[in-house]
A and B are shown apart, each in its own frame.
Chain A
Amino acid sequence: MDFKLTEEQLMLQETAARLVRDVYGFEHREQYRQSRHGFSDPFMQQLGDLGLCAVPFAEAYGGYGGSGVENMLIMTELGRGLCLEPYLHSVIFAGGLVDQLGTAAQKDTLLPQLGSASLQLAVALDEPQSHYQLHDVQTTAEAVSGGWKLNGRKSVIIGGQSAGLILVSARTSHGVRDEQGITVFLVDPQDSGVGRRDFATQDGRMACELYLDDVFVKSSAVLGAVGQALPALRYQQGRCMAAQCAEAVGSMEAACALTLDYLKTRQQFGQPIGKFQVLQHRMVDMRIELDQATSMTLLAACVADQADSDERSRILAAAKFIVSRASRFVADQSIQLHGGIGLTWEYMLSHHAKHLLMVARQFGDDDHHLQAYAKLLQVA
């Protein structure tokens, strides 16, 4: 057992941290948020130029061959700066799906572009009725001459507003909520019949809703074997959850630091409010929650890229559960300890809080993962 990072990992961590520190002050973030894509194109490009977008991919595709630990190091720093770029959804989630399911030709085309940040992808799995269940797919794909015809609606696609291609899950066979019969398609948002509605999210990102109305895609747009996508969707969502936990830990660290600083400087009743024991204990509780979350994030990072197993699924569900709960606690209590100032738009803390509250609203909430874990519980 060894918790130490390697030299290369330390360098990666330092690179990511410095990048974020340099360009992600609050005012800059506000500008990026209001810009055309809802994030900083130059910053995304910088992540590409410095090789950070290529970290998870194999060397054959110009990548670094990184694992869950490298993803964790980058995502923690992006979370600390509340970075708006769709790294998680594009590089880790969509990139992982292409890597796992794609043909050699698809990988040759897409992965180097992802790695250099010249292409951004998005993943469209949720639907209005699915409530985080990846097998609850009502969007249909019907085989037609030369390809497929897609119909349906996909929900709340983070980064979908600026994606070059969107990975869409659709039902190609079998009945409602069957685990078989789900296929992933690469859909170009510019294709005829694709409707999009863009909107902002609570935590300052951009997302879109996707409406597919008789959208024709060629056979080459299928990603992976027809009807067999569900295990890969679950596996890659697992990797993505591990990385999202790291992003939340970075954000929690920032929120805790701001709160601790406030406790030491804010004067009421003739002393810094941090002198009051009840507030000390609350801050301690936040710190303990953060520590639990950090531990589960490490554990999740270590298993994220391992072969699929019940043990891996259990750990990832546990990490997502613990981190979601901790995120909510830190968000709520950091606002409470700040008082009114914690609720203002002009202060970074409220944006961390909103981000932390939204952690549970993607890739399954705490109930979802509590039930998933309970199902896999080892009784003896």
Chain B
Amino acid sequence: MDIEFSVHEQAFRQDVRAFLHDNLPGELSERIALGKRLSKAHQVQWMRTLNRQGWLAPGWPVEFGGTGWSDVQKHIFDEECFAAGAPKVSSFGLKMVAPVIIKFGTTEQKAHFLPRILSCEDWWCQGYSEPGAGSDLSSLKTRAVREGDDYVVNGQKTWTTLAHFADWMFCLVRTDPEARQQRGISFLLIDMKTPGITVRPIITLDGEHEVNEVFFDNVRVPVANRVGQENEGWTCAKYLLTHERTSIGGIAQNKALLTRLKRIASQEVRDGRPLIDDPLFRTQIAEVEMQLMAAEMSSLRTLAATQNGEVPGAESSFLKIKGTEIRQAITYLISKAVGPYALPFIEDELGYGSEPLLYTDYSSAATYQYLDARKASIYGGANEIQKNIIAKMILEL
């Protein structure tokens, strides 16, 4: 057992830190530090910077543009990026569809799509959930019927994050309605410019337009855009979901949030002293920090137990559950720390407005971030579903 980072790993951390210091624009890190909304342009700007450095896709094999880093190095990289306030890279292309294309795609698909993901030419969205298929994803009904070299797709997806910005969607469709639920599903890559696709916004409780409904009306998709075998799409979907779950653990993000909480609690005042010196509030910060410490070790153990590039097993569900609970606990404490200033709902301050601040630079995002964190225990397989997975796969109940 050795839980210390090696000299090599520590040197790597310094390299990452130096890179971030030199390349991360202050405007971006400031927005992130204050919990404000980010535009697509902000994200693309940062992803292009990472790509120039060759660091955009640490999770990919080197031959396709990966970094060849160990899992510990990837963890260090994540941690430094979040600590510095770098924007999260959009995961739909890089962390979701790319691993599937790499594992199950054809040579042509790899050659076409992977470079375009790295260059940010293509922006992706995920066509999984449907109105009748949420936690029970395999009951999806969107239909694809083969006609010559095309599939004709009809149906509806929902909760499609950033579909309004997307060039492509990776989409689960039913190709065999007779087969048992998880069979008969195929994994298609759909060009969002294809005629017959309608994207309609869903406004969420924080007033934001991030998710959408997507309707398919006789949308023709070339058979060449299917990944994996026909009716074997569930294999791809499962592979991707496990990938998604590990990143949902969000240790590095939670560490950055915790730092933010401490900064806010040091600045806020109660009874003439910093809130962080109020024993009751301080105890609550301590509690969540201990939880995070344990979750970080669990995350490192899970990483260490998997071979490079391999997908962790059902243990990734532990990480998702604890990671989202911790995120919700920290954002709750942030919202509590700002007191009555959790009440104002000032979109101008969350977005790109220029009005003077009502109170502090961090207050307007406090409730917004709490509300935003509610979805973390719903998406990527609700936490209740994660517990079913653990019960079945690990406990064999």
Question: B344 within 8 Å of A by Cβ?
Answer: yes
Question: A200 within 8 Å of B by Cβ?
Answer: yes
Partner of A354 from the list B136, B205, B344 (CB cut-off 8 Å) is B205
- The answer to whether B275 and A202 have CB atoms under 8 Å apart is no
Question: A3 within 8 Å of B by Cβ?
Answer: no
Expressed in whole angstroms, the minimum distance between the Cβ of B21 and any Cβ of chain A is 34
Contact with A along B74-104 (1 / 0, CB 8 A): 0000000000000000000000000000000
Count of B residues near A, CB < 8 Å?
Answer: 50
- The answer to whether B341 and A155 have CB atoms under 8 Å apart is yes
Q: How many angstroms between the C-alpha atoms of A155 and B339 in the bound complex?
A: 10
Residues of A within 8 A of B204 (CB): 343-345, 350
Partner of B205 from the list A268, A278, A350 (CB cut-off 8 Å) is A350
Q: How many angstroms between the C-alpha atoms of A343 and B355 in the bound complex?
A: 28
Residues of B within 8 A of A131 (CB): 268-271, 275, 339
- The answer to whether A155 and B270 have CB atoms under 8 Å apart is no
Q: How many angstroms between the C-alpha atoms of A353 and B158 in the bound complex?
A: 22
Contact with B along A116-145 (1 / 0, CB 8 A): 000000000010110111001000000000
Contact with A along B149-179 (1 / 0, CB 8 A): 0000000001100000000000000000000
Q: How many angstroms between the C-alpha atoms of A371 and B278 in the bound complex?
A: 11
Interface centre among A279, A343, A353 (most CB of B within 10 A): A343
- The answer to whether A370 and B280 have CB atoms under 8 Å apart is yes
- The answer to whether B271 and A200 have CB atoms under 8 Å apart is no
Q: Which of A287-295, A308-316, A333-341 contacts B (4 or more CB under 8 A)?
A: A333-341
Question: A365 within 8 Å of B by Cβ?
Answer: yes
Residues of B within 8 A of A17 (CB): none
Partner of A339 from the list B205, B269, B382, B387 (CB cut-off 8 Å) is B382
Residues of A within 8 A of B339 (CB): 126, 131-132, 361, 365
Q: Which of B37-45, B247-255, B315-323, B372-380 contacts A (4 or more CB under 8 A)?
A: B372-380
Question: A114 within 8 Å of B by Cβ?
Answer: no
- The answer to whether B367 and A362 have CB atoms under 8 Å apart is no
Contact with B along A302-341 (1 / 0, CB 8 A): 0000000000000000000000000010001001100110
Expressed in whole angstroms, the minimum distance between the Cβ of A203 and any Cβ of chain B is 8
- The answer to whether A209 and B358 have CB atoms under 8 Å apart is yes
Q: How many angstroms between the C-alpha atoms of A358 and B345 in the bound complex?
A: 11
Question: B34 within 8 Å of A by Cβ?
Answer: no
- The answer to whether A357 and B370 have CB atoms under 8 Å apart is yes
Partner of B343 from the list A177, A197, A339, A362 (CB cut-off 8 Å) is A362
Question: A61 within 8 Å of B by Cβ?
Answer: no
- The answer to whether B345 and A365 have CB atoms under 8 Å apart is no
Residues of B within 8 A of A128 (CB): 341, 359
- The answer to whether B343 and A207 have CB atoms under 8 Å apart is yes
Expressed in whole angstroms, the minimum distance between the Cβ of A368 and any Cβ of chain B is 9
Interface centre among B343, B344, B382, B384 (most CB of A within 10 A): B343
Q: How many angstroms between the C-alpha atoms of A361 and B337 in the bound complex?
A: 10
- The answer to whether A365 and B336 have CB atoms under 8 Å apart is yes
Q: How many angstroms between the C-alpha atoms of A155 and B270 in the bound complex?
A: 15
Partner of B272 from the list A177, A197, A203, A367 (CB cut-off 8 Å) is A177
Question: A346 within 8 Å of B by Cβ?
Answer: yes
Question: A176 within 8 Å of B by Cβ?
Answer: yes
- The answer to whether A202 and B343 have CB atoms under 8 Å apart is yes
Q: How many angstroms between the C-alpha atoms of A327 and B205 in the bound complex?
A: 17
Tell me the nearest residue of chain B to A340, going by C-beta. B159
- The answer to whether B281 and A367 have CB atoms under 8 Å apart is yes
Tell me the nearest residue of chain A to B371, going by C-beta. A354
- The answer to whether A339 and B371 have CB atoms under 8 Å apart is no
- The answer to whether A202 and B345 have CB atoms under 8 Å apart is yes
Contact with A along B337-378 (1 / 0, CB 8 A): 001111111100000000000110000000100110011011
Residues of A within 8 A of B378 (CB): 335-336, 339-340, 343
Question: B203 within 8 Å of A by Cβ?
Answer: yes
Expressed in whole angstroms, the minimum distance between the Cβ of A233 and any Cβ of chain B is 15
- The answer to whether A343 and B374 have CB atoms under 8 Å apart is yes
Contact with A along B260-288 (1 / 0, CB 8 A): 00000000111110010010110000000
Residues of A within 8 A of B132 (CB): 267
Question: B242 within 8 Å of A by Cβ?
Answer: no
Q: A202-B345, A340-B158, A345-B204 known; A136 and B272 CB under 8 Å?
A: yes
Q: How many angstroms between the C-alpha atoms of A365 and B336 in the bound complex?
A: 8
Interface centre among B340, B358, B367 (most CB of A within 10 A): B340
Question: B134 within 8 Å of A by Cβ?
Answer: yes
Partner of A199 from the list B269, B346, B387 (CB cut-off 8 Å) is B346
Interface contacts beyond A273-B135, A343-B375, A361-B340: sample of 5 additional A-B pairs, CB < 8 Å, sorted by A: A203-B343, A269-B139, A339-B134, A343-B205, A343-B371
Q: 8 tightest A-B contacts by CB?
A: A350-B205, A268-B136, A131-B270, A345-B203, A156-B340, A201-B343, A129-B269, A361-B342
Q: List 10 A-B contacts (CB under 8 A).
A: A126-B339, A136-B272, A158-B343, A335-B374, A340-B134, A343-B378, A344-B202, A346-B203, A358-B343, A361-B335
